[in-house]
Amino acid sequence: MSLNRLQKIISDTGLLSRRKADLLIKQGRVTLNGRQAILGDKADPISDHILVDGKDLPKKLNHRVFLINKPYGVISSCQDNHGRKTILSLIPSNLRHGMHPVGRLDFDSRGAILLTNNGELTLRLTHPKYSHTKTYLVWVRGRPNQVVLDNWRRGILLDDKITMPAKIDVLDRINQKTLLKVILKEGRNRQIRRIATLIGHPVQDLQRISISNISLNGLAEGKWRELKTKEWISIIK
């Protein structure tokens, strides 16, 4: 008998992420062998009877991961009430079932974003405790000096909390704009844009070029490719 945490079993089906599975368990919406499940429960996905909202779990999915080079004007959600183009629309319709974006990338930003049905991968790449890096190329207005950049590197007060240290390199300066390479280990809402505005050098263009060890590597804007297991498996080990 192979026992795993209940939230991992649920996320492995591709139904939802580990974090959302935790929430369902806390809300009392998961039962294990006829009783209400609690956080910390372990189960065997084959021999134990697990229900979510009164329904049997779907069979475990073959995990798939797609890398997309998101263009401007596409939202990183599965659906949109305002009729805007979603990240799911960039892959063929027959591949969309059970897929969800890993984290987010702003409507007015572009670059690397992942789609997957692997809840464990989503957790590892979005939860701050795992500290996976994300790398961005950012054009900002003006010419930020060393003092300003050092402050950003050490951490900026944002939402009453100091940001984690960031690695920032100046790659180019053209007239009154500067190209920065920014590497973060966290991803607060519109973090780079908000900090750039706070320090007086608003973002003019933002492109994410890599997520952990996964890079665009020449993938054209608006295009996608399926990753081989060996490209992402180390993230969840």
What domains appear along the chain, each with residue ranges and CATH number?
4-56 (3.10.290.10), 65-128+214-236 (3.30.70.580), 133-211 (3.30.70.1560)
Residue 168 pLDDT greater than 90, yes or no = yes
At residue 208, the pLDDT reads 97
pLDDT in tens, 178-228: 999 999 998 888 999 999 999 999 999 999 999 999 999 999 999 999 999
Q: Are 21 and 7 in contact (CB under 8 A)?
A: yes
**3-class DSSP assignment, residue 104:** coil
Burial grade of 203 (CB within 10 A; 0-12, 13-18, 19 or more): buried
Pairing of strands 110-116, 100-101: antiparallel
Which residues are marked as active site? 106
At residue 13, the pLDDT reads 77
Q: Are 32 and 41 in contact (CB under 8 A)?
A: yes
Return d(Cα 219, Cα 143) in angstroms, integer. 30
Claim: this prediction has a pTM higher than 0.95: no
Residue 20: Cβ within 10 Å count: 17
**3-class DSSP assignment, residue 234:** helix
Residue among 31, 62, 63, 26 nearest 48 (CA):
31
Return d(Cα 180, Cα 164) in angstroms, integer. 18
Residue among 63, 185, 61 nearest 121 (CA):
63
Tokens 């890599």: give the residue: 210
At residue 172, the pLDDT reads 97
DSSP H helices in 80-132: 119-126
Calculate helix-pair angle for 18-26, 119-126, nearest 10 degrees: 100
Q: Which two tokens stand for residue 114?
A: 């992942």
N residues, the chain: 237
pLDDT in tens, 22-63: 999 999 999 999 999 999 899 887 788 899 999 887 766 678
Provide the β-strand partners of residue 205. Answer: 139
Choice between 156 and 189, residue whose per-residue pLDDT is larger:
156
Residue among 104, 1, 74 nearest 44 (CA):
1
pLDDT in tens, 85-130: 999 999 999 999 889 999 889 999 999 999 998 888 888 898 878 8
Choice between 123 and 156, residue whose per-residue pLDDT is larger:
156
At residue 16, the pLDDT reads 74
The residue type at 212: S
